[in-house]
């Protein structure tokens, strides 16, 4: 196939045979590797090519002055925009003139520059999200390791003092922070610092309530405080409080009401009546 290129032209044409027997398959497939698409006139295949270019965020120049499928893609571009702005839309819909070709090339280059900036920003945002997720996991591991270390280094049973009370409170709080960060990592838009604060609050309330209940049942608990034995319970409690806080908070915020357990209507005194029938004699 001879494309009759000018002598000394820097443009090269490579002819590659496609295995498909239909030209549409090879035609639409090559659009995915294009740096830009120019549409003028055309019919249904031109419109489909423009839609594919818009879906793949490929710079596209649908010249509406000649009508056809390109004018329909121009209307679609006005709704999608991608990397085109108001000036580009107006230029693509303008009448053809001697300066149109140069202006369209400049329009295509502007779209390419905006697309490159968009991809660069998206890649940077993705790297930042990955780095934030890594920091979150690192914080969770360190907090959990510190909580377990508190369990190992807890002193013997003795009267409550600043050291063992601090150990009793801080180790479960670290576990609750770890649980909240791990739970938050499952969310698409995660923020581990905010999860740390939520886990800290949930763990503090849970641990204080647990210690208060123990003091009610054992009034002299602080006189002989066995921190290690209590940590075997409070660390899992803190982790569970931090891990499930977002779930409970979301249910409360959405106003979800728990359904009554089966058989609860029998306890309310409204048992269903049972009709009896007299046997037929």
Residue 9: its pLDDT value, please? 82
Residue 41: its pLDDT value, please? 93
Which residue pairs, CB below 8 angstroms and at least 24 apart, start in 25-28? 28/52
This prediction has a pTM of: 0.63
Q: In angstroms, how far apart are the furthest CA atoms of the chain?
A: 116
Instruction: Say yes or no to pLDDT of 47 above 90.
Output: yes
Percentage of residues of the chain with pLDDT beyond 90: 43
Residue 215: its pLDDT value, please? 87
SS3 string of 226-242? CHHHHHHHHHHHHHHHH
Residue 255: its pLDDT value, please? 59
Structure tokens at 2: 């001879």
Instruction: Say how far apart CA 131 and CA 194 lie, in whole Å.
Output: 16
Instruction: Say how far apart CA 122 and CA 213 lie, in whole Å.
Output: 51
Enumerate the domain spans of the chain: 23-113, 122-254
Q: At 174, give phi and psi (nearest 5°).
A: -65, -40
> Which tens digits make up the pLDDT trace of 227-272?
888 999 999 999 999 898 766 666 555 655 555 555 545 444 544 5
Residue closest to 78 by CA, chosen among 58, 65, 62: 62
Residue closest to 144 by CA, chosen among 178, 167, 170: 178
Instruction: Say yes or no to pLDDT of 107 above 60.
Output: yes
């Amino acid at each position: 196939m001879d494309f009759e290129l000018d002598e000394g032209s820097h443009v090269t044409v490579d002819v590659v045979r496609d295995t498909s027997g239909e030209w549409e398959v090879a035609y639409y497939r090559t659009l995915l590797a294009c740096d830009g698409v120019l549409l003028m006139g055309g019919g249904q295949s031109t419109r489909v090519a423009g839609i594919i270019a818009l879906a793949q965020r490929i710079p596209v120049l649908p010249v509406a002055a000649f009508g056809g499928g390109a004018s329909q893609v121009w209307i679609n571009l006005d709704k999608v925009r991608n990397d085109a702005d108001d000036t580009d839309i107006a230029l693509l819909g303008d009448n053809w003139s001697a300066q149109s070709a140069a202006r369209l090339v400049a329009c295509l280059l502007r779209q390419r520059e905006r697309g490159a900036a968009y991809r660069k920003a998206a890649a940077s945002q993705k790297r930042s999200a990955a780095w934030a997720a890594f920091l979150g996991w690192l914080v969770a591991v360190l907090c959990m390791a510190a909580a377990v270390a508190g369990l190992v280094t807890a002193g013997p049973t003795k009267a409550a003092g600043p050291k063992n009370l601090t150990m009793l409170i801080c180790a479960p709080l670290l576990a609750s922070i770890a649980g909240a960060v791990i739970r938050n990592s499952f969310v698409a838009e995660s923020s581990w610092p905010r999860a740390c604060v939520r886990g800290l609050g949930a763990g503090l309330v849970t641990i204080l309530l647990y210690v208060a209940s123990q003091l009610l049942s054992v009034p002299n608990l602080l006189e002989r405080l066995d921190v290690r034995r209590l940590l075997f319970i409070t660390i899992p409690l803190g982790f569970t409080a931090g891990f499930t806080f977002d779930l409970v908070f979301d249910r409360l915020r959405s106003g979800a009401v728990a359904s009554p357990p089966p058989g609860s209507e029998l306890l309310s005194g409204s048992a269903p009546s049972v009709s009896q029938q007299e046997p037929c004699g």
